[in-house]
């Protein structure tokens, strides 16, 4: 799922209703700006595997509220 493909109202809806943790929210914001997962890992100072796990959690929460 490509977060950056969503419209601004959709992004705002997900921000309000997905109940993201702080790390999930940070990743969501980076992905909304089309920052690659590898760069997100560097910015958040975590491994790529951790970012992929967080990304799956974010995607699952988005799917649940749709």
What architecture does CATH give domain 3-65?
Answer: Orthogonal Bundle (1.10)
The per-residue pLDDT for range 33-49, each reduced to its tens digit, is 999 999 999 999 999 99
- How far is 47 from 51, CA to CA, in rounded Å? 6
pLDDT of residue 14: 97
Residue 43, C-beta contacts closer than 8 angstroms, at least 6 positions apart: 30, 35
- How far is 42 from 7, CA to CA, in rounded Å? 26
pLDDT of residue 29: 97
pLDDT higher than 90, residue 2: no
Residue closest to 24 by CA, chosen among 56, 2, 65, 48: 56
């Amino acid at each position: 799922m490509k977060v950056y493909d969503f419209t601004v109202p959709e992004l705002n809806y997900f921000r309000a209703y997905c109940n993201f943790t702080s790390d999930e929210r940070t990743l969501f914001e980076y992905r909304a700006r089309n920052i690659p997962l590898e760069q997100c890992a560097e910015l958040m100072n975590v491994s790529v595997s951790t970012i992929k796990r967080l990304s799956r959690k974010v995607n699952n929460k988005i799917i649940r509220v749709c």
